[in-house]
Homo-oligomer: A and B are copies of this chain.
Amino acid sequence: AQLALERDYESQREMDTRYRVLMEISRDPVVMVSMSTGRMTDLNPAAAQILGGSRSELLGAPIAQEFEGRRRGELLEALSTLAVSERAAPIELIVRRSQRRVVLTPTVFRAAGERIVLCQLDASDAVPVTDDLG
């Protein structure tokens, strides 16, 4: 039994390591959001760059406050309806800190009894959005 426990522990550590390395190196900007709190429970460097903040300051913050004109409940509700739809439709948003246009593609899954939204971000602009009319 002791050996089995050690194997479980090793196996858990291994998945943990695989997950962390994969998040870290992926050039695909990804944010994990808890559906119950609306807070970002994990994000990778690529996502932090698009959101215009450091990973440490974004971690634990409500995702809705990172976008313009989206109240917390409103964005979560939009993400929540995707949980019951067959295919998730992308949502277009403007990032508050950088004023960049992004397309958010959500994937809802369940882990350890909690609903999590994995959000993929695509910068849909080449340059930041400005109010400049010239």
Contact = CB atoms under 8 A, between A and B. Distances in A.
A127 interface: no
Contacts of A32: 18
A16 B12 CA distance: 8
Interface residues of A, number: 31
A16 B14 CA distance: 9
A27 B28 contact: yes
A3 interface: no
Contacts of A120: 25, 27
Given A111-B14, A112-B13, A113-B10, A22 B21 contact: no
Q: Which 8 A-B pairs have the closest CB atoms?
A: A14-B112, A12-B12, A17-B111, A14-B111, A19-B19, A15-B15, A28-B28, A10-B112
